[in-house]
Amino acid sequence: MQPFVHDVAASRTVFGAGAASSLPAEAERLGIGRAVILCSRGRRDVAESLAAGFNQGVAAICDAAEPGMPQHAVDRVIGELRDGEGAGLIALGGGSPIGIGKTVAALSKCRFIAVVTTYSGSERADNWYIGSGPDRKGGRSPDAVPATVIYDPELTLDLPPKMSAASAMNAMAHAAESLYGPDTNPVVQTLSEEAVRMLYGSMPAIMADPTDVGARGRALYGAWLAAEFRATAGLSHALAQQVRTRFELPHAQCHAIMLPYALAFNREAAPEAMERLRRALGADDPAAALYTFNRRWGLPTGLGALGLTESDIEAATDAVAGAKFANPRPAGRDDIRKLIAAALEGAPPRI
């Protein structure tokens, strides 16, 4: 057994069907005297039901979350937090509410709880940012990590099937690259393999019945594993994150598209990771299996479906080539260009 270091941010996890009912107790445990529940307008009804569990006047709702992490949304939430003593933030939702919540927590140092309703896993990362596109700004801070994260599969029942599949692929991208990250270890590898198994295996049942709480719970458990036990990301994340940021493309869909191509590129350089993925997916070719996953569940297989064009390839290549990332197989500019060109077309990955 090789020696290793396993370092994680301190954060409490509350998991299970009905776990959201523990929110008032979790807020009290953190000393939150007045809770600001951040959500999108589409989730206001859920936020209202959560606020009803608090004593009268303790919880206020701020439906400022919107895509792109705009400055005005961050300012509005910070303003709500300043309106009262002992205020703390509760972010309810997926990418935008959690992302804005992390930014607000990093800037204001407020007490912070996340109630997640997708599988993306950003709640466990310490990065934060404001804005979108090439001009966005941000950083990293331990204050961006929630003190408590609540995972309640009952809150994911209305996540549309296609978005469920895309979000699951986003989480599987974290787990897959954690299998070969430079700082991976036996704990991360074992639990990342299980994360992929849970996420991939739960999807047929979710597609057949989106209200299947058991299947939703398995997917959410896989998402938690992928987020909690993570190694440094590699080529797949560099491709997806740089391209989506440069051209303002959908987050989860970019990850879903790029993961099969990155795995095909890394196939020979990461044999142990590929063997773990074969076991988790029940397939001889992990890249082909995940490409088929996208097609089976109606997700785009190529970046062209998201709006990227052939004339964008050089700028996309520059964005990725200029990023710092660790990968088991060196990826030069020509390699990156070929990957982006292949992903633009959406043909089966054969890199």
pLDDT at 134 (0 to 100):
72
pLDDT at 83 (0 to 100):
73
Does 266 lie in the same domain as 121?
Answer: no
Using DSSP's 3-state secondary structure scheme, residue 350 falls into coil
pLDDT in tens, 205-254: 999 999 999 999 999 999 999 999 999 999 999 999 999 999 999 999 99
Alpha helices in the chain (DSSP H): 23-29, 44-51, 71-82, 95-108, 161-178, 186-208, 213-228, 235-247, 251-266, 271-281, 286-296, 313-321, 333-345
Q: For 66-93, what is the mean pLDDT?
A: 90
Domain count, the chain: 2
C-alpha 285, offset from chain centre: 24
d(CA 169, CA 160): 14
Does 266 lie in the same domain as 339?
Answer: yes
pLDDT at 136 (0 to 100):
82
Does 119 lie in the same domain as 47?
Answer: yes
Which residues make Cβ contacts (< 8 Å) with residue 316, sequence separation at least 6?
Answer: 242, 243, 246, 247, 308, 340
Residue 9 scores a pLDDT above 90:
no
The neighbouring-strand residues paired with 34 are 87
Structure-token pair, residue 221:
């458990």
Assign residue 200 the CATH number of its domain.
1.20.1090.10
Residue 133 scores a pLDDT above 80:
no
Nearest to 30 by CA among 90, 80, 82, 97: 90
Q: For residue 6, is it within any domain? A: no
Q: For residue 4, is it within any domain? A: no
pLDDT at 56 (0 to 100):
80
Q: Which domain holds residue 123?
A: 12-156
Does 171 lie in the same domain as 145?
Answer: no
Instruction: Tell me how far CA of residue 24 lies from CA of 18, 54, 93, in angstroms.
Output: 13, 6, 17
Residue 112 scores a pLDDT above 90:
yes
Instruction: Tell me how far CA of residue 82 lies from CA of 102, 109, 204, in angstroms.
Output: 17, 12, 45
Does 220 lie in the same domain as 206?
Answer: yes
Q: For residue 279, is it within any domain? A: yes
Q: For residue 351, is it within any domain? A: no
**Domain end among 156, 179, 195:** 156
Q: For residue 2, is it within any domain? A: no
48: left (phi over 0), alpha (psi -120 to 50) or beta: alpha
**DSSP secondary structure string, 35-53?**
EEEE--GGGHHHHHHHHTT
The residue whose two tokens read 């989730």 is 43
57: confidence class by pLDDT, cuts 50, 70, 90: confident
Q: Identity (one letter) of the amino acid at 143? A: D
Q: For 32-41, what is the mean pLDDT?
A: 95
Using DSSP's 3-state secondary structure scheme, residue 340 falls into helix
Which position has the higher pLDDT, 257 or 9?
257
Q: For residue 350, is it within any domain? A: no
Q: DSSP state, 268? A: T
Nearest to 193 by CA among 282, 116, 295, 117: 282
**Domain end among 156, 188, 203:** 156
Q: For residue 74, is it within any domain? A: yes
